Amino acid sequence: MAGKPKLHYTKGRGKMESIRWLLAAAGVEFEEEFIETKEDLEKLCNDGVLLFQQVPMVEMDGMRMVQTRAILSYIAAKYNLYGKDLKERAWIDMYVEGTTDLMGMIMYLPFQPADTKEKNLALIIERATTRYFPVYEKALKDHGQDYLVGNKLSWADVHLLEAILMVEECKADVLSAFPLLQAFKGRISNIPTIKKFLQPGSQRKPPTDEKFVAVVRKIFNI
């Protein structure tokens, strides 16, 4: 029997969090080896296990996979979360890229100078409510199904729930004008594997705080 996937990253969300979400949604147990110092990262680089000297890195199925998008698409395809044909896959990719853009804005917010944070937080809320969430609300309305693509759970649904919860950490009532997304959030959150991941004590990571920002800056020289 193959071992559990092993995730190599810092002890925070960052680019690895979506990988944790997708594995959890697929019901896959995984282990984590945390990079806690600059020396930990240097050792991985010196051992030649990071293709581009970057993390995230996931050891899985005899591979040492890097590049977030490559890792996610592999997991999605392996666990039947990537649509039934090329057209469905294209829609899933489009929806995922949208939520990736939105989550990227939130991910980098704690690393920005204090004097720009308020402006950028307002921009995140504005983009979420005028550019991104209307697309997903319309998608759910137009085809009248419980999921974004086809009528089964896909990577796009998992990614959207992650994005919704991240934006709600910025503004709790951000879904007030999106009734279908509110219902979607309730449905997807109650899928047993996802519900388990949302419970306290899971491998889901907390929002990035100043203490973690300081650790990341030290490890990556930023």
Query: Could you tell me the sign of the dihedral formed by the alpha carbons of 37, 40, 45, 46, in that order?
Result: positive
The reply to whether the predicted model has a pTM over 0.75 is yes
Question: What per-residue confidence (pLDDT) applies to 165?
Answer: 97
Domain 86-191 architecture: Up-down Bundle (1.20)
SS3 9: strand
Q: Dump pLDDT digits (tens) for 24-82.
A: 999 999 999 999 999 999 999 999 999 998 999 999 999 999 999 999 999 999 999 99
Percent of the chain residues past pLDDT 90, beyond the cut = 91
Structural domain boundaries in the chain: 6-79+198-212, 86-191
- The fold for domain 6-79+198-212 equals Glutaredoxin (3.40.30)
Q: Dump pLDDT digits (tens) for 124-152.
A: 999 999 999 999 999 999 988 999 999 89
Question: What per-residue confidence (pLDDT) applies to 1?
Answer: 42
Res. 106: pLDDT tops 70: yes
Question: What per-residue confidence (pLDDT) applies to 135?
Answer: 97
Spatial separation of the C-alpha atoms in residues 151 and 47, rounded to whole Å? 44
